[in-house]
Amino acid sequence: MLLLLLAPALIWLLGLIVLPHIDLAVLSLRERVAPRQYAPSLAQYRTFIEEPLYWHTFVRTASLSILATLITLLLAFPIAWTIAKLVRGRIKSLLLVLCLIPFWVSETVRTLGWMILLRESGVLPALLVQLGITTMPVELLYRDATILVGLVYTSMLFMVVPLISALESLDDALIEAAYDLGGDGPSILRQIVIPHAAPGILAGCIVVFMLTLGNYLTPTLLGGKNSLWFTEQIYSQFITRFNWEQGAAFGFLLLGLSTAIVWLGLKLTGQKFGEVMNRT
């Protein structure tokens, strides 16, 4: 009976996750030697190692994804604390709705909205001219900072929700007792709040990091053709060059990177994956 109940989920996992990954693994470990003839090979991975552009793009994507995750955490924590501890009733519901509203439209529409705001003829450059900050409109698109803004904006909700879940379970009496015993804000935050919220922090960081690392649309639109995002390299290999073997190898390298970062985060914080995912 249990197997019958689990059958839809197992079929979904097998058909949409396990089998495609096996097929990609086979593709990444072969090389075309003649039309419709292939031989086992690690040539695709050697190409990645030997080509500086691929290495640079890979490291750049990982670095900006980690930075975007940290910025999202720093911005989301005060928001989550306000919603979980400082407001009640309708105001709390209103703040939650305000966090959700941007996600009622597609990522494409939200990213295009940033392009309208930041392009040279957009709203923000014109405002800077009117305020006297700049003498002429400045192109704010196609920069690393612009990509970070877009990534943080599109990922914020996925950091706020686990943080709220973790902070709501923190007993207010514990914080009051810490103040009564002479503790100040920074020490209470460091010794009580952050350790208690650690599973929520790690859960949010894992989700946001994986979303930003695998994001294609936001870096491409906000960063332009020179965004140097690794998912763009994967897209190029599959769609533009029809080199599925190389694209599959790049996909597995990206999967390996995300797995390694998640494993490292769990090890450094001493958390278990199952406990962390219960917070999401």
Can you give the pLDDT at residue 72? 97
Inside any domain, residue 28: no
In tens, the pLDDT along 223-243 reads 887 788 999 999 999 998 889
In tens, the pLDDT along 124-163 reads 998 888 888 888 888 888 889 999 999 999 999 999 999 9
With a pLDDT cut of 70, the percent of the chain lying above it is 96
Inside any domain, residue 35: no
Cα–Cα distances (Å) from 51 to 55, 198, 235, in that order, read 7, 39, 17
For the chain, the domain total comes to 1
Can you give the pLDDT at residue 34? 75
Inside any domain, residue 210: yes
Residue 114: closest CA among 125, 130, 98: 125
Can you give the pLDDT at residue 2? 73
Inside any domain, residue 21: no
Mean pLDDT of the chain: 88
- Quote the domain boundaries for residue 258: 42-277
Can you give the pLDDT at residue 280? 56
**What CATH number does residue 61 fall under?**
1.10.3720.10
Inside any domain, residue 37: no
Inside any domain, residue 27: no
pLDDT at position 49 over 60: yes
Q: How confident is the model at residue 121 (pLDDT cuts 50, 70, 90)?
A: confident
Can you give the pLDDT at residue 222? 92
Contact 119, 141 (CB under 8 A): yes
Q: How confident is the model at residue 278 (pLDDT cuts 50, 70, 90)?
A: low
Inside any domain, residue 256: yes
In tens, the pLDDT along 259-271 reads 898 888 888 777 7
The model's pTM is 0.90
- DSSP letter string over 107-176? HHHHHHHHHHHHSTTSHHHHHHHHTTS-SS----SSSHHHHHHHHHHHHHHHHHHHHHHHHHTS-HHHHH
Can you give the pLDDT at residue 209? 94
Inside any domain, residue 63: yes
